[in-house]
Chains A and B, each alone.
Chain A
Amino acid sequence: MHEMSLAEGILQLVSETANREAATRVKTVVLEIGKLSSVEPEALKFCFDVVTHGSIAQGAALEIVAVPGEGWCMPCGETVAMEELYGACPKCGSHQVQTTGGSEMRVKEIEIE
């Protein structure tokens, strides 16, 4: 999707927290990225290195925790694994599936010193 701009958003949250905590350096940034959020982890890692250059988070390791896609299929009446956003249910092929997990893009925690 738009990894460069996402990386900018992450840097903003990380810098705010690091400043508030009077940190001198950010060592690790842990993200939770859902499988259905259309984020390409490799591209995000590359962009993160670029945007953090010269910031408090320069050189920080980026850890990405992948959250599996999950949806509630109404015809099946159960939670099913989802590979694609707004995709069909892998069991019955219906599109009446409400995404319940895997669309998150969150900054989970940071390691600072």
Chain B
Amino acid sequence: MCTVCGCGAGETRIEGDAHEHTHVHADGTVHSHNHQHSHDHAHPHDAVPVAAHTHAHRHADGSEHTHDHVHSGEHQHDHAGAHHHHEHLVSGDLDYGTGPARAHAPGMSQSRMVQIEQDILSKNNAYASANRAWFDERGIFALNLVSSPGSGKTSLLVKTIELLKAEVAISVVEGDQQTSNDAERIRATGVAALQINTGKGCHLDGHMVGHAIQRMKPADESLFLIENVGNLVCPAAFDLGEHHKVAILSVTEGEDKPLKYPDMFAAADVMLLNKCDLLPYLEFDADLAEANARRVNPHLTIFRVSASSGDGLSAWVSWIKSGLEAQRAKRVETVDSLKARVAELERQLEQTQAGK
């Protein structure tokens, strides 16, 4: 569920997804399934009455921890199921010495404090970090386009794609509550597009985008564009793993929008002032709009553009190109990490061959 506006989750559909998210729970929470348990040990379940051994867990957020635990003889360990809970000696066992009195009196309840120290949005942030790492490893430049509905995001994307598609591979993720109209408009330009319908949801999150990446498999050193759900509030709080948020404001809206919805303009690195071809017919003060946006975010890069006339798009396109260049350069820098990956794959190959 969105912690910003309280909209529901649970009706998310990714195009072409045959098994429509069976891991959405009845209470509306989306469950993390990248939960891996590595069991690098034998389970002496049958004969040995009590066996203590070390257990390594990897959690969805990438953190790992190891703990000892005790198996009693009749202990049933269902490893086919994706989830099981262990009693942790480290923190979960019944330790009667940790109560406020540091002692136990029979029949008295013992309470203990457990540190959580977690941001309410920490789950999403873990997914987003994984997405960003995936992009960085492959030199992919990812942008998250955010705006209110009707600011011209899709038209702007279509124009941008037409100017860039000869030079770079492009993949587009389209987020909308319903319909695949936007994805179809993007596909008409000849580039790959995937529609995500959020159902009751008001924004895309890191988990959905992770699925989209798996489905689309964007090419190395390509451009990955995410058109978020038209909404100036909630998408600001949800990192998707993009390199920059690009906020789009059109001149048919109010100059004070950056002040009314500051979170979005503060979260963005770039603002596109769209529909500038209409300025002669409107009482819109473009300088005031820019000043308001810079008041919220002094570091904002602003481009005045028009998707329909094409004015100003060359500056925006060259900004994207320099971003692509930077990602490629960074990839060269991380050549050492690639070498490490090759070494790991070679090791796995050797293991497989040795196992035959």
Residues of A within 8 A of B (CB): 1-2, 4-6, 8-10, 12-14, 17, 19-22, 27, 85-86, 95-96, 104-113
Contact = CB atoms under 8 A, between A and B. Distances in A.
Contact of B296 (A10, A17, A86, A112): A86
Contacts of A108: 115-117
Interface string B1-40: 1111111000000000000000000000100000000000
A86 B115 contact: no
B118 A13 contact: yes
25 contacts: A2-B3, A2-B5, A2-B6, A5-B5, A8-B6, A13-B116, A13-B122, A20-B85, A20-B88, A20-B92, A21-B91, A22-B87, A22-B92, A86-B266, A86-B296, A105-B120, A106-B117, A107-B116, A107-B120, A109-B115, A109-B117, A111-B113, A112-B111, A113-B109, A113-B111
| Interface size range on B against A | 20 to 34
B262 interface: yes
A103 B18 CA distance: 41
B119 interface: yes
A30 B118 CA distance: 11
A19 B92 CA distance: 10
A21 B89 CA distance: 10
A95 B4 CA distance: 25
A5 B262 contact: no
Contacts of A104: 119
Nearest to B263: A85
B298 interface: yes
Given A2-B3, A2-B4, A5-B5, A106 B298 contact: no
Q: Which of B3, B87, B110 has the most CB of A within 10 A?
A: B3
B112 interface: yes
Contacts of A17: 114, 116
B295 interface: yes
List of 6 A-B pairs having minimum Cβ-Cβ separation, nearest first:
A5-B6, A113-B111, A9-B3, A9-B120, A107-B116, A95-B295
Interface string B116-144: 11111110000000000000000000000
A111 B122 CA distance: 21
Given A9-B1, A20-B92, A21-B92, A112 B114 contact: yes
Interface of B: 1-7, 29, 85, 87-88, 91-92, 109-122, 262, 266, 295-296, 298
B114 A110 contact: yes
Chain B interface mostly helix, strand, loop or mixed? loop
Contact of B111 (A9, A105, A107, A111): A111
Contacts of B117: 106-109
Contacts of B295: 86, 95
Given A6-B120, A105-B119, A110 B113 contact: yes
A75 B11 CA distance: 48
A109 B5 contact: no
A4 B7 CA distance: 10
Contacts of B2: 5
B197 to A, nearest CB: 21
B295 to A, nearest CB: 5
A84 B313 CA distance: 36
Given A86-B262, A86-B295, A95-B295, A8 B1 contact: yes
A94 to B, nearest CB: 10
Given A9-B120, A95-B298, A111-B111, 17 more contacts: A5-B4, A5-B5, A5-B6, A9-B1, A9-B121, A14-B116, A19-B85, A20-B88, A22-B87, A22-B92, A86-B296, A107-B117, A108-B116, A109-B113, A111-B112, A112-B111, A113-B112
Nearest to B2: A5
B114 A21 contact: yes
B331 to A, nearest CB: 30
Given A12-B29, A22-B87, A110 B116 contact: yes
A105 B230 CA distance: 25
Given A22-B92, A85-B262, A86-B295, A107 B118 contact: yes
A106 B1 CA distance: 17
B110 A113 contact: yes
Contacts of B296: 86
B3 A8 contact: yes
Contacts of B4: 1-2, 5
